[in-house]
Amino acid sequence: MKHLLIAAAILLPAVSVFAQKKNTIHEKQAGTFSLGTRNTISLFNDDNATGKGIGGQLRLRLSNRLNSEWYFDYITSKSGSYTYRNDYHIGWSILFYPGNFYSDHLLQPYLIAGHCFDYSKVAEQNNKANSASRPSMATQAGLGTHINITPQLDCSLSGQYMLHFGKDIETTIDGGEVIIEKKDFSGPDGHLLFTISFNYKFFHLWKAKS
């Protein structure tokens, strides 16, 4: 519940603006191809470390209501002075625009949900050979908004809860010795992921129907 309250507090402005001035003619958005860069913050991980990351993404607009987002993230974090963690995400999301919001509006709120594959590695800070890694999969869902700087350029903000499925990596400290182990069984674990990205619309891959 705490995670959901934090996400709602940050993203409330994105979904609270439902009366904006519209132009008389709106460009059809289907087929729009865009590229962007992104920064991420991961919170409430199992090790209580805050992850910070960079990445890139492309978008392909499927219709006026639906957009697709294909992304890559590289996220790093440290747990005290003992271990560090690197996470790699590669995945996709679907963006659904629930209201009459267009690229000529300042804000374009959306619902977002998707799936990703990821690879995680945890290692001792003073001994990189002492490490463990795991592949896993995740599903994610949340809220976001585009801030349309121009009809071609936007800054996008989103907050999602990511639920990972795979063998967890556990770290324990025993008399100053760092023990890093991958569990023998799989289980779910989750965290919040906040993303800010800048995206530029380059061209239409196909002509939208009138």
pLDDT at 21: 39
Note the pLDDT tens digit of each residue in 71-99. Answer: 999 999 988 788 999 999 999 999 999 87
Note the pLDDT tens digit of each residue in 127-174. Answer: 999 999 999 999 999 999 999 999 899 999 999 999 988 888 888 888
61-64: long-range pairs with CB below 8 Å, 24+:
61/29, 61/30, 61/31, 61/32, 61/33, 61/34, 62/30, 63/29, 63/30, 64/28, 64/29, 64/30, 64/97, 64/208
Domain ranges of the chain: 2-11+33-204
Residue 2 has pLDDT above 60, yes or no: no
- Which phi and psi (to 5°) does residue 181 adopt? -135, 145
The CATH code belonging to domain 2-11+33-204 is: 2.40.160.20
pLDDT at 103: 64
Tell me the mean pLDDT in the region 199-204: 92
pLDDT at 4: 39
Note the pLDDT tens digit of each residue in 12-62. Answer: 444 444 333 343 334 578 889 999 999 999 987 766 778 999 999 999 999
How far is 103 from 17, CA to CA, in rounded Å? 15
Band (191; pLDDT cuts 50, 70, 90): confident
pLDDT at 144: 97
pLDDT at 210: 55
